[in-house]
Amino acid sequence: MKAKKRIGTRAFKIILLRDYGVNISEGCILRLLKSMTLPKMSTIKPRFKSKKAPVFSFDNLLKQEFNPNSPNQVWTTDFTYISIGTKRHVYLCAILDLYSRKCIAWKVSDRIDAKLACDTLEIAINKRKPKEPIIFHSDQGSQFKSASFRKLLDEHQLLASYSKPGYPYDNAVTEVFFKYLKQREINRRTYHSIQEVQLSCFEYIEQFYNNYNPHSANNGLTPNQKEENYFKKI
């Protein structure tokens, strides 16, 4: 019977009587359906147990302790947007090592997504090749809480640390880095392409900030000098 998997016992009774002249009770129909291993039909939708998402911790491990005593103890990250013309934005992701305030990785993209966060982190990992666990601090943006980003952290023994929602002071060093990047470089220029933004970021970060700019947190040393002095002593 074409309808046997779509209707209930009451409809079966009507069809059997109407089409075949067979008059049997609904109880008998139900027993027959069970013997045929067909489920009782119902208008109630089945309930499915939803898969529970993995439970991740979003604790703040950094706790505003911004002055570690060696490189590769704490890295911090964030995004900022940069305008191209009047109708377009691109996005810069940067990672700092808090010991020297050095920008150890950065990347510009026209999309602010988990891929940008992962790509920038991979640059940092390839450059620094960390051998010990590192606190990796960010805000609670979805990119930094994504499964792909958390997987990358776990693979390289990076300990996820998150600011309180809407509380930029927990990531103050990165906020200040972007503030001065905007004041000294970005806001002084007009960009027409993502390539111009990339070149501008390279000139500021690699040539000026890391290599030339005396940093107050380093007692006047540049980020590169601070790290060079550390590695000379070990």
Q: Which class is 74-233 in CATH?
A: alpha beta
Helical spans, DSSP H, in 96-159? 114-128, 142-145, 147-155
Cβ atoms within 10 Å of 217's Cβ, excluding its own: 16
Total residue length of the chain: 234
pTM for the full predicted model: 0.76
Question: In the prediction, which pLDDT does 53 show?
Answer: 43
Mean pLDDT score of the chain: 87
- The structural domains of the chain, with segments of one domain joined by +, span 1-42, 74-233
55 or 176: which carries more pLDDT confidence? 176
Closest CA to 145 of 133, 137, 135: 137
Question: In the prediction, which pLDDT does 132 show?
Answer: 94
Query: How far is residue 97's CA from residue 174's CA, in Å, rounded to a whole number?
Result: 10
* Contact in structure between 38 and 30 (CB atoms under 8 Å): no
- What's the rounded mean pLDDT across residues 42-47? 45
